[in-house]
A and B are shown apart, each in its own frame.
Chain A
Amino acid sequence: MTLGETMFDKIWRQHVVCELADGVHLLHVDRHVIQETTCAQSFAGLDKAGRRTRDPDLTFAVVDHIVSTAPGRTGETFEGGRELVHLMRKNCPAHDIELIDVDHPWQGIVHIIAPELGIALPGATLVCGDSHTATSGGVGAYAWGIGTSEVQHVLATQTIVQRRPKAMRVSFEGRLGPSVHPKDLILYLIGQVGIAAGRGYVVEYAGSAIRAMPIEGRQTICNMSIELGARAGFVAPDDTTYQYLNGRPFSPQGRLWDEALAAWRSLPSDPDATFDREVTIDCHKIRPQITWGTTPQDVIAVDERIPDPAAIADGDRRAAITRSLSYLGLEPGKPIEGTPIDVAFIGSCTNARLSDLAAAAAVARNRKVAPGVRALVVPGSAQVKRAAEAAGLDKIFLEAGFEWREAGCSMCVAINDDQVGPGQRCIATSNRNFEGRQGPQSRTHLASPASVAAAAVAGSIADVRKLAH
């Protein structure tokens, strides 16, 4: 037995097919998940070269990014999305890949359905042409986002060429304060270490707060690994993980489940394993977070003031802050609480699971969306939607004046027709606040589902702790 291995060491070792050059390895891909906006050119490339999909049984397909989320949508979705959806209906059967189409009861955001269906498994390698693939790290998968050329390579060979990243461990320790959610933890971390800190690393999230956290919250944390700069982030599996995965459609069953479980129990990092970088976060210190700028590291607690560039010594940083505040139409030094909003968006692979909708509904219950605010709830999957409806959450949202929509990526990536208008201010549970991310000239503030619901009813950025029931 090898001592002192990290979980990442073990996963890497189990997946090396061969070494191609010094430090360059061919890794086996256990689960390849494809979505409509990043694989059309991959299939075209395969067809042109006369190549096939090598392992359709290890390939899973869904449409999520460009589909309409309008209530009552049909298979024809929205006009601008039709081309890529139709290509999925042509390419998947031609390559013997089963497609989860718009009207399928399992349809949803790729990173939400991968764990939900048991496609993502502990210690498995999982890739997808999408940067938020690390979401599946919440169940202990080594999952990372790839480009369209890499998608083509994985389809053709079921392997990927990789240079080994370094390993970072982030330990979240202690209890969470009132109205503080997993989203607040990951935003706080990004604010502390910056959006490039994880570049070249794979991150293992650990610590007492992670151990106490349900799987859905762990997915939220892993989801934003890319906003830290890391392609992959995961949590070691434990009994919470096994309980979550047991009985899901693609999870192993019967004797295979027992064999898998025995192997998964040996995955966690050895006690004497060492990491290239260690970060510890004291969760006591974390209050509900909100971004004020145009990168996810531009984040403060909701009761803090908007930064004043005049107080910043570094010239480049001062210029960046000035530009961000001007883009967002914010005044330096003012409290961020009370900033009026136009749109409130609850959705995305970061925060559209059942627990996210429940946290938002707990705030929205018996309240009304403020006049002039458009508030949307976009469940992360059709299964989440049905579960929320069974729990009566849809009624709470509809009575409060939120839209209750169909599953998809929606206003996070804004490649469909769910867009924030020019100059409009949106508070969102998604993961990116870049200039123009939610539509040309859109302004975005990132926060937790509870904080977004609080802002929706207040009509402005609000401290959810004051509204907690």
Chain B
Amino acid sequence: MEKFARITGIAAAFPKANIDTDAIIPAQWLRSLGTDLGKGLFAGSRYDPAGKENPDFILNRAPYRDAKIIVAGPNFACGSSREGAVWALQRFGIRCVVAPGFSDIFFENAFKNGLLPVILPDRDVQELLDFLETTNDPSLTVDLERRVIETLQGRTISFTIPEARRTALLEGLDEIGQTLRQEAEIAAFQARDREARPWIHRRERGLVAKARG
């Protein structure tokens, strides 16, 4: 997993509520492992039906082509569980999304990949959106060590994040590796559970092949 400590970069405003993961990465971009998902990010609004860039779309304009941060409306990335939504944002260059709320699955997927989702109260998100609309330099700094977002003009907004998630991002922890260290606990659970709920664990092998006949 990619580590996250502190980044400074261009922030793009996506104020619309309920931006879904189909909008972030349409399904047709997920057919092959070889696809550059960064190109597919927001494809439905970023390109016209012939595949030409839509000049009005924010990520097609300077300086937002180099955006590292998205400031979004409520309930960001709702819908499909596709982790491709996180990968597409990252491949484009996005490292952090700030919003009043995220869908539960995207929130989890983001942390697993080192994309920082920051939840802020509505009024703080609105302040950032207003700032981005009026400023000439839409840059923000996101500092996970200090848990703050800063503008170059000196405005500082604090955010909260569960400590376990913060540590995992700062250290780039391999969660599977961590869990594998609990193997004794997992084995003990299964041994107990085999007694308590044997129907969960006793399964006849080969039923799938047998049903094929």
Q: With CB as the reference atom, state the residue of chain B lying closest to A162.
A: B108
CB-based contact A30/B176 at 8 Å: no
Min distance, Cβ B17 to any Cβ of chain A, angstroms: 6
Q: How far is the CA of A250 from the CA of B22 in the complex (A)?
A: 34
CB-based contact A57/B205 at 8 Å: yes
Q: How far is the CA of A260 from the CA of B199 in the complex (A)?
A: 7
Given contacts A30-B200, A260-B199, contact A146 B31 (CB under 8 A): no
Residues of A within 8 A of B30 (CB): 37, 415
CB-based contact B164/A196 at 8 Å: no
Q: Which of A104, A161, A434 contacts B20 (CB 8 A)?
A: A434
A149 within 8 A of B: yes
A403 within 8 A of B: no
Given contacts A105-B212, A249-B211, contact A199 B104 (CB under 8 A): yes
A89 within 8 A of B: no
Which residues of B in the span 156-213 have a Cβ within 8 Å of any Cβ on A? 162-164, 175-176, 178-180, 182-183, 185-186, 189-190, 193, 196-203, 205-209, 211-213
B151 within 8 A of A: no
Q: How far is the CA of A159 from the CA of B212 in the complex (A)?
A: 30
Min distance, Cβ A146 to any Cβ of chain B, angstroms: 7
Which of A15-23, A170-178, A236-244, A272-280 forms part of the interface with chain B? A15-23
B103 within 8 A of A: yes
Majority secondary structure, B binding face? helix
Q: With CB as the reference atom, state the residue of chain B lying closest to A148.
A: B83
Min distance, Cβ A463 to any Cβ of chain B, angstroms: 28
Which of B53-61, B73-81, B133-141 forms part of the interface with chain A? B73-81
Q: How far is the CA of A339 from the CA of B117 in the complex (A)?
A: 40
CB-based contact A26/B207 at 8 Å: no
B16 within 8 A of A: yes
Q: Which of A18, A66, A149, A436 contacts B22 (CB 8 A)?
A: A436
A348 within 8 A of B: no
Q: How far is the CA of A172 from the CA of B28 in the complex (A)?
A: 37
Min distance, Cβ B72 to any Cβ of chain A, angstroms: 13
Q: How far is the CA of A99 from the CA of B211 in the complex (A)?
A: 12
Q: How far is the CA of A153 from the CA of B168 in the complex (A)?
A: 15
Other than A147-B112, A199-B75, give 14 A-B pairs with Cβ distance below 8 A: A14-B196, A37-B82, A38-B83, A41-B83, A57-B203, A80-B32, A145-B105, A158-B190, A195-B75, A226-B79, A229-B78, A320-B18, A437-B22, A440-B28
Q: Which B residues fall within an 8 A CB radius of A?
A: 16-18, 20, 22-23, 26-28, 30-33, 44, 49, 73-75, 78-83, 86, 101, 103-105, 108-109, 112-113, 162-164, 175-176, 178-180, 182-183, 185-186, 189-190, 193, 196-203, 205-209, 211-213
Interface pairs A-B: 5 shortest CB-CB: A252-B199, A149-B112, A147-B109, A415-B27, A98-B208
